[in-house]
Structure 1
Amino acid sequence: MFLRDLYASARRRWYFVLAGLLITAGMSFWVFRVAPVTYEATANVALIPPPTAVISGDNPFLYMGGLDQAMGVLTVKLNSDSVRGPIEEAYPGAEYSTERDATTSGPIVRVKVAGDSSETTLEALNRVLDAMPVTMTSLQDELSLPQASRISLLTLGVDKDTTLVGEARTRSLLVVAALGLAGTLLLTGLADKRLIKRRGRKHSGAATSPADDFPVEETGLSRRNRADRMPLPSGSYAGTTPSAEPLPEPYVPVADLRR
């Protein structure tokens, strides 16, 4: 019933609906221009075991199973403020994260960079890739490891173009559009009811009796009532019964009585 009334109000006040739709479209366009978007780029870097851990002539990729601990230490160091701070200060609006690649079981680090522009995102990603071997070398220098026992890094893939991520903008557009449509319909229904009530009051005021426009003075009415008033017999009042009065005797002359 409510939807039917709302539909009828929208048909009667279509100009209100049109105005609301235009306002909603303008707000949606403004949100589309203002809402922030994010550009993302990723890279994958694998840890390669040292030569001393590989039997001469074997494939180094077959000995990558014991590098999970080294990968965990590297990711923690890359996410620390000592490494993250200079990179994010050099590229404001960009931030990165390093974690293990969940799509594989090998010691592969996934680097993900998000920024407010495509150029900044790609530059920040290259800066992180350059910092990874430096960080790995510093970690092994602190342990004073020989060159033959050091772990190396191998870049497997780097994004050449960024990916536009507009989830925040899409959510903002959906919220604004939903609120605009709902507000348009509700305000149209309220305005329609108010206009109908106002029109009903105008019609009821115009339909009053014309006798009310020319009232008769009270003094004239009272005088006219007194003039037209007629006395009623006492027997006509409620609660009384007419009394039986004796009939007059017939008139008989005196001479006839003597006879």
Structure 2
Amino acid sequence: MSLIATLRMLWHRWYITFPGLLLAGLCAAGIWYTVPPSYERSATELLLPGKNDYPVGSNPLLYVGGLTSSADVLTRAVSADNVLKEVTKDHPGTDVTVQRDGSTSTPLIVITVTSKTNADARDVLSAMVARTASELSALQESQHIKTTDRITVEPITVATKSTLQQRTRLVLTVAAGAALAALALLIAALTEGLSRKRRRRADAVEASAADGLADDGPADDGPVDAGPADDAPAVAAPLPTVRPSSGFPTRRRSRPSAADRSRAPSMTTRRA
């Protein structure tokens, strides 16, 4: 079906198309204002080697290359379910992601917090930054590592403002509006299709009925010989024409019939 035919069909069923599209728009607007946006904050932390792992007075940042494995271990410890549940128990609807920055070999740990409110995102991020340091200290203390050999974690960046995330809100709005609009157009198309099907069926029935009437009518095979009518008046035979000859009227003798000829021999016999 071409675009013009489709638009014509939708216009023909405007009482279904227009209310359906209006309902889809109202539903999409309602979801947009009902679903709140999300607030996201992130922080980045760096692992630093122990004081005995680099020369006195040198820059510890030059010796962070061997701490990638330690960053992976700390990431697993901080992102455990029990830790995340403990931190977010007073902040429902908050999601926390802890992972090592895979784009570089530097032992960087990235913490991302997504929450329904800006305050919850701020509080949970602060709690996770503090929890990372405590978990690292607990891990090293459980291994009885000396204080001078212990790895430390240093926050590099901590977001002070949340980023507004509209993705979930936008996806739900578009999905609801598109679904209702498609449903309205589908109903309009089905209604138009069923109507056309009924019209074609009615036309076919009328055409077949007309053909039947034409077959039952009188056939024009030529003139019909109805025979002589009983009530028609009898026409008298014309009288024989008499021609005069030699002044005396004479009657024209008619030819003898078959009965006269059959009686002729018997008359001759009697005369004899």
Q: Compute the TM-score of the two structures, normalised by the length of structure 1.
A: 0.71
Structure 1 vs Structure 2: percent identity of aligned residues?
Answer: 25
| Equivalent pair of 1:6/1:185 in contact (CA under 8 Å) | no
Matched residue, 1:14 = 14
Q: What are the ranges of 5 or more consecutive residues in structure 2 without an aligned counterpart?
A: 207-225, 229-255, 261-266
Are 1:39 and 2:39 an aligned pair?
A: yes
Q: Which structure 2 residues correspond to residues 48-197 of structure 1 after superposition, within 5 A?
A: 48-194=48-194
Q: Distance in 2 between matches of 1:118 and 1:181?
A: 34
| Equivalent pair of 1:78/1:135 in contact (CA under 8 Å) | yes
**Deviations 1:115-141 (CA, angstroms, capped at 9, x unpaired):** 222211111000111112111211121
The structure whose Rg is larger is 2
Q: Distance in 2 between matches of 1:162 and 1:32?
A: 20
Distance 1:148 1:162, change over 3 A: same
> How far has the Cα of 1:196 moved from its partner?
6.1
> How far has the Cα of 1:22 moved from its partner?
0.6
What amino acid does structure 1 have at the position aligned with 2:158?
Answer: V
Q: Distance in 2 between matches of 1:12 and 1:158?
A: 60
What amino acid does structure 2 have at the position aligned with 1:40?
Answer: E
What amino acid does structure 2 have at the position aligned with 1:67?
Answer: L
Q: Distance in 2 between matches of 1:115 and 1:138?
A: 28
Q: Distance in 2 between matches of 1:164 and 1:124?
A: 16
**Deviations 1:14-50 (CA, angstroms, capped at 9, x unpaired):** 3432212111111212222344643221100101111
Distance 1:173 1:90, change over 3 A: closer
**Helix, strand or coil for the counterpart of 1:144?**
coil
Distance 1:190 1:101, change over 3 A: same
Q: Distance in 2 between matches of 1:104 and 1:134?
A: 25
Q: Distance in 2 between matches of 1:163 and 1:87?
A: 21
Matched residue, 1:29 = 29
Q: Distance in 1 between matches of 2:259 and 2:17?
A: 100
> How far has the Cα of 1:63 moved from its partner?
0.6
Q: What are the ranges of 5 or more consecutive residues in structure 1 without an aligned counterpart?
A: 206-230, 234-246, 252-256
What amino acid does structure 2 have at the position aligned with 1:183?
Answer: L
**Deviations 1:67-112 (CA, angstroms, capped at 9, x unpaired):** 1222122112112244223112132221212111123321111111
* TM-align CA RMSD: 3.3
Q: Compute the TM-score of the two structures, normalised by the length of structure 2.
A: 0.68
Distance 1:54 1:193, change over 3 A: closer
Count residues in correspondence. Answer: 219
Q: Distance in 1 between matches of 2:13 and 2:85?
A: 59
**Helix, strand or coil for the counterpart of 2:89?**
helix
Distance 1:6 1:82, change over 3 A: closer
Q: Distance in 1 between matches of 2:160 and 2:27?
A: 35
**Deviations 1:52-74 (CA, angstroms, capped at 9, x unpaired):** 11112211100111112221221
Which has the higher mean CA deviation after the structures are superposed, 123-132 or 92-101? 92-101
| Equivalent pair of 1:40/1:163 in contact (CA under 8 Å) | yes
Distance 1:20 1:151, change over 3 A: same
